[in-house]
Amino acid sequence: MREINRIILHCSATPEERDIDAATIRDWHVNGNGWSDIGYHYVIKLDGTIEGGRPIHIAGAHTKGHNDDSIGICYIGGADTDMNPKDTLNDCQEAALKELIYSLRMVWDKHLTLHGHNEFSSKACPGFKVSKKFPNHL
């Protein structure tokens, strides 16, 4: 099994209120980018439904240089209607994210640190500073 040390949060960079699923993102990544699979391990839809993505035992393709020891989670949204970066994480998604973080920490039996994609790249993703929004989950 991979040595996992952190969780990296992403957004789909889609307009708020436009719900998509892991299958759509998988299609973008496989057919658009030529990847072998979706880059994220989990996707959180607008209603808080958590969908599986890339198998957890396989390194993701979500944060260049940081995939080997991380789990990638993508929430749907992250942009306003004009496609500008925006924190669109709703209450259902936030609750699901917190439960997923808790579950992953229990499964791995360790404190996995929580980070935003924007900590490792110049992108706005996930649309906010994780350290400010989730100070108790870092």
Task: Convert the pLDDT of each residue in 51-99 to its tens digit.
Answer: 999 999 999 999 999 999 999 999 999 999 999 999 999 999 999 999 9
Residue 79's CATH number? 3.40.80.10
Residue 123 bears catalytic tag: yes
Q: Which of 29, 40, 41, 74 is catalytic?
A: 40
Statement: residue 13 has pLDDT above 90: yes
Q: Which of 45, 86, 115, 117 is catalytic?
A: 117
Residue 11 bears catalytic tag: no
pLDDT band at 136; cut points 50, 70, 90? confident
Domain that holds residue 67: 6-133
Q: How many domains does the chain have?
A: 1
Q: C-alpha distances in angstroms, 77 versus 6, 44, 83, 125? A: 22, 10, 10, 10
How much is the pLDDT for 77?
A: 98
Q: C-alpha distances in angstroms, 74 versus 21, 63, 109? A: 10, 12, 22
Question: Residue type at 99?
Answer: E
29 part of a folded domain: yes
Residue 10 bears catalytic tag: yes
Whether omega before 15 lies within 30 degrees of 0, making that bond cis, reads no
Q: Are 36 and 30 in contact (CB under 8 A)?
A: yes
